Chains A and B, each alone.
Chain A
Amino acid sequence: MGTWNLIWQGLASGVVTGCVYALVALSLVIVYKSTDVVNFAGGELVMIGAYLGLFILLGLEWPYVALFVMVPIGSFVLGGLFTRFSLDKVSGRAMVKHANLVPLVVATIALSYLLKGIVRVIPFTEEVRRLPPLMTGPPIFLGDVVIQQQDIAIVLVTTVVMVILWLFFGYTFVGKALRATSQNIRAAALLGIPVNLMKLSVWGLSAAIAGIAGILLAPKLLMTPDMGTVVMLAFAAAIIGGFSSLPGCVVGGIALGILQNMVGIFISPQAIAVTPFFVIMLVLLFKPQGFFDTTLAVKKV
């Protein structure tokens, strides 16, 4: 079983984990683009989505499909509440986008501790848990490469979510209003777009996407209250994609997933943990535009 097989297997599972990184990266980017807030609690929203799913599945014993309805709604409400009560208070409903970045970021850090704290209190979460996968059954073999059914589910659901979002942002009124708000919040307000409602829906949407990523990730990554550290992988993926576009996130996520496996095979497993941070440093310090050109560095007069 030559190294070629090793590479193919690494590529395959890299794409799968990359898809989940892409989803979380997207949830970070749509919040950043519209409210200039880097959401350091993105990982915790993923975790909450996973535990919500586990509660619905095992606690209420609802069918699996209910997950894809209830978790996004639950996360949407959580995201909306956070921005309506906390972020608006912190930024003082200021119209200008980057009024005071430090408190806004600290607010997301505070949210991450709140969410971790709440989940930690439930004794059920002391042990490592796992959400039953969406699709179970024997794995599929492409030559020697093993593909799990859950992996296929992840790629499928991610693609579906991406397409829905692409259509939503591109062709629906609310979607365009969201994009307008993200480009220029003041102009959007002048055009009569209910800006605060937009902010609420952007945060809600971002939390919902993170929740879905949680449901997909939990079977693969296992659930502990500290699984939120996956947000750093999402940051790395978003930054490779230039932190501003939907295709950027997808390509960034998959590239990172594959890179991690290649590093694990060819360099050393010890280097896997540091790969995302190394990538963030390299891209930001030496190619700030990322690979999908958007000017992050220069500030206009």
Chain B
Amino acid sequence: MYGSPSTRHLLSLLWLVLAGFLFPSWMPEYFIYIMNMLMMYMILAVGLDIVMGWSGQFAFAHIAFFGIGIYGTALLNMRLGIPFLLGMPLAALLAGAVGYLIALPATQLRTVYLALATFAFSECAQWAFRTWESLTKGPDGLRMTAPQLFGHVVTNDRDAMPIIAIILALVLAATFYLWHSKLGRQFHAIRDSEHVAMASGIDVKRTKVWALAISAFYAGIAGGVYTLFQSYVHPDGLGVSMLVLVLSMVVVGGSGSVAGVGLGVVLLGILPELLRSAPKGFLIWQEFTYGAILMLAIMYMPKGVWGLWQRIQQGRKA
């Protein structure tokens, strides 16, 4: 958690970008669509993990910032013609700024009340997306025009995948650097013991506010990535079920580590596709299966699948 990330980690991101360029040419668009979804969820889940896994702050407003990222990027492109490469960061900065403003009053609350206050903010944001019809077309949903990138219009999953892979690689590189930085250490310090942090000269309140603002920025980026491969957004899609999905990815995968979250994203990202191919009679059981998997994961893998995997490895080495 000091110095800078190992070259091995940074190199693994090159594999990711390589996959982003190679896969689209020969895989059916359905699998590329799933890949794009998983990469988007990865940015979203890592953002949530920074505020929850690293800093131990119970922030449930994540999907509101994701929504700001989507509507922001899309409307900047449609209303002001701002191309994607400028629009997406701007929308993400807006999401981060809103996160910062919400964090100021919210972070003096104790864990559970921070969760309720941020969850309430997220529901209010979803309500605003629904009722502010002049801006977001409200319940009709917003049909987003395809984003432009260097004059080239990104229309389908195949075009989008390399760009998303690059964005994810950059986000993960930034995350590795953050992990190994002073701020990264401060996040972990306020999670483990606020007293030690205070006694070491860390402004606990400001660190919490930065944790929430950075995670909001990540959610904004994920929102921008959404507009690359989806053409429509509806407020009902930004509700509590999306939050529970991302939260489960972080917790089941293994909160507190980027690899753990990655594992959670892949497992829970592909799960609905697997459940969908269950025999028709069992489709009605999907919700119950999802709940059962979440419950078992929490009961038997407190540190997530990644924690279990490391315990097995240590078990083998010892």
Instruction: State the A residues within 8 Å of B (CB).
Output: 32, 36, 38, 86, 89-90, 92, 98, 100-103, 105-107, 109-118, 120-121, 232, 235-236, 239, 243, 270, 273-274, 276-278, 280-281, 284-286, 288, 296-297, 299, 301
Contact = CB atoms under 8 A, between A and B. Distances in A.
Contacts of B58: 101-102, 105
A284 B112 contact: no
A286 B117 CA distance: 11
Contacts of A121: 284-285, 288
B117 A113 contact: no
B315 interface: no
Contacts, number: 128
Given A113-B291, A114-B291, A120-B287, A86 B127 contact: no
Given A113-B287, A114-B291, A117-B289, A297 B120 contact: no
A171 to B, nearest CB: 29
Q: From DSSP, what is the main secondary structure of chain A's interface residues? A: helix
A106 B294 contact: yes
Contacts of A280: 116-117, 119-120
Interface in B285-318: 285-292, 294-295, 298-300, 302
B105 A286 contact: yes
29 contacts: A38-B115, A86-B299, A92-B302, A103-B298, A103-B302, A105-B58, A106-B247, A106-B298, A107-B298, A107-B299, A109-B244, A109-B294, A111-B291, A111-B295, A112-B291, A113-B294, A114-B295, A115-B291, A117-B285, A117-B292, A120-B287, A121-B284, A121-B288, A276-B120, A277-B123, A278-B124, A285-B106, A288-B113, A301-B195
Given A113-B287, A280-B120, 13 more contacts: A38-B115, A105-B115, A110-B292, A111-B295, A117-B288, A117-B289, A118-B288, A120-B288, A236-B120, A239-B113, A277-B123, A281-B120, A285-B117
Contacts of A115: 291
B110 interface: yes
B244 A281 contact: no
Given A117-B288, A297-B108, A239 B127 contact: no
B109 interface: yes
A101 B110 CA distance: 11
Give the 6 A-B residue pairs with the shortest CB-CB distance, closest first: A117-B288, A113-B291, A280-B120, A114-B291, A110-B295, A117-B287
Contacts of A86: 295, 298-299
Contact of B302 (A90, A101, A111, A120): A90
Contacts of A273: 127
Contacts of A102: 52, 58, 251, 255
